Structure formats: C-alpha cells, structure tokens
Amino acid sequence: MAVFLSDTPILKPLATALRSQSGWQSAQLFEWFLEDVLADLTGQRPRQTPPTEARPTLRDLARLYAQAVISAPPFDDLLGPLFMGVICASDQRYRGQFFTPLPIARFMVELTVPLNDGKPPPVDRLWRVCEPACGSGILLLALCQRLYERQGPAALCAWSLTAIDRDATCAALTAAQLLANSVLHRAPLGELIVYQGDALGPPQNLRVVVHQVATPMTPGGSRPVVPALHPARTAALKAAAEMRLDAFGLPMVETPVEGADAA
C-alpha cells in the first residue's frame, strides 16, 4: 500500500509551497529546506547558502513542516510522501524513487528488531540499530514510533540509531525527520548518526550529516563519545551492511585507558 500526498492532508500546505515558487526548481528548494531545518535543529552551518530572496520561503516551509510534525503522530513519515509526490514527479533525477510505506516498515520492525521490553542497555552502551540504505529514514521512524507507543518517549534515550544513504538528499531527509520528531515530540534519542556515502565503500568517502548524543549519556554523567568516523564505527557500519549483525555491537563510548579518569 503506497502512501500519497492525497492520503496526508497535513502535507498539502507544504506541497503547495514547494510547487508554487517561481524562480527555483522544487528539488533545489527542497534541498535548501532540509539544510535549513538541520541548521535549526543542530546549530551547524548549512552546506549550501541559498539566495537571500529565498530565505522567507524557506522560513515558511520550516514553519509549515514543524506544524505538520506536531499535528501528526510521533515519528510519522511526512517528508517521504512529500518528496515522492512533489520532487520525484518533477525532477528527472528522481524518477522511480520509492520509499517503503510506514505500515510495511512497522511490520518489518515487528519481525526483525527486538524492543528489549524497556530493559536498560549494558553499562556504557546503548541498544544499537543500523539502516545502511535509509531512504527517507522510514525503518528507523517505524522503530521509534513503536518504542514511543509501547514504552513512552523516555525509552528512545536508550537507543543509538545509525543511518546511511548514498544520496545526499535522502541522508538529509532522514536526519531532518528523526531530529524534528525527537525535538517536537520531546523524545530525545540516545544517539543519532547519519552518514552520506556507501556503507560498503571506503570509510574516507563517508560524510557525517549529523552526529547527536543525548546528555548525560549515563546515569553517572557524560563520557567521551566515539567519533562518527572512528574505525570501530566504520567497521561496524560495514558489518551491518554485509548483514554480519553480530559484529555491530560496539561500545557507545571510548574504552578508557586503564588507570585514567573515565569521567
């Protein structure tokens, strides 16, 4: 069952705004919009600097998106249908792009991801999930939605989510959706890492889109976090992409040097 814009009335204002702007292609406006949302949510500088005259439009799109996220169930997929309905229909580069519908993603999560019944993770670790071809982030959204419904928003703080996609727009889309829902529905994620690149390719070709960690990470306070491009992380990412899932359980934090202060 596909999900289209007509099935999601709260997206119509966003779709109208993306389609009606003269002077910019919808795909370009959508890329600027994603960068603008990520800048708001993370404080990082956008990779692209849009024209000054586009700023009011981007601010309006960000406002409409925030309203849609607040109105929708937590961790619903909003930007996936918007992307397919507006961008894929108007830009030759994205013809044939299709994201998994949320009901199917939820079913896949039920079959494949143990939710651990709210049990705390081992000390200095989080429950970890990796999506090596994330698209719109739909599988991670489905996981977060199930956790939110079954265990409440606080449960998401025990999870580390890793996503990767070769397409820069899809990577930014995933990061924007997960962060916006986490912030606006007050459900902080233990950790979120989103990369652009090929999970099976050389690690030096990966670009970190977002790396956010909830604080404090442990009941005793924060500890040093393994950087997103640390060899242990990139090796685990490749293991997940190759379905060697038993190799994906790396520590959340750096192993302290014996005798050193780990606080």
Percent of the chain surpassing pLDDT 70? 76
Residue 12 pLDDT grade (very low, low, confident, very high; cuts 50, 70, 90): confident
Domain containing 233: what range? 1-247
Judge whether 263 lies within some domain. no
Judge whether 214 lies within some domain. yes
Residue 256 pLDDT grade (very low, low, confident, very high; cuts 50, 70, 90): very low
Distance CA 92, CA 105 (A): 27
Cα 72–chain centre separation: 17
More confident residue, 118 or 214: 214
List pLDDT tens digits, range 90-119. Answer: 665 665 667 778 888 888 888 776 766 667
Judge whether 254 lies within some domain. no
Judge whether 259 lies within some domain. no
Given a cut of 70, whether residue 34 has pLDDT beyond it is yes
More confident residue, 139 or 255: 139
Structurally, the chain folds into a number of domains equal to: 1
Residue 219, pLDDT score: 47
**CB 64, CB 13: distance < 8 Å:** yes
Q: Is the dihedral of CA 128, 164, 71, 55 positive or negative?
A: positive
Judge whether 122 lies within some domain. yes
Which of 129-133, 217-221, 254-258 has the least mean pLDDT? 254-258
What's the pTM? 0.83
Distance CA 252, CA 262 (A): 13
**128 DSSP 8-state letter:** E
Residue 127, pLDDT score: 85
More confident residue, 245 or 86: 86
Residue 17, pLDDT score: 86
Judge whether 8 lies within some domain. yes
Judge whether 212 lies within some domain. yes
Mean per-residue pLDDT, 42-50: 87
More confident residue, 222 or 149: 149
Mean per-residue pLDDT, 11-38: 87
Tokens describing residue 114: 């143990």
Tokens describing residue 37: 């949302």
Judge whether 261 lies within some domain. no
More confident residue, 184 or 235: 184
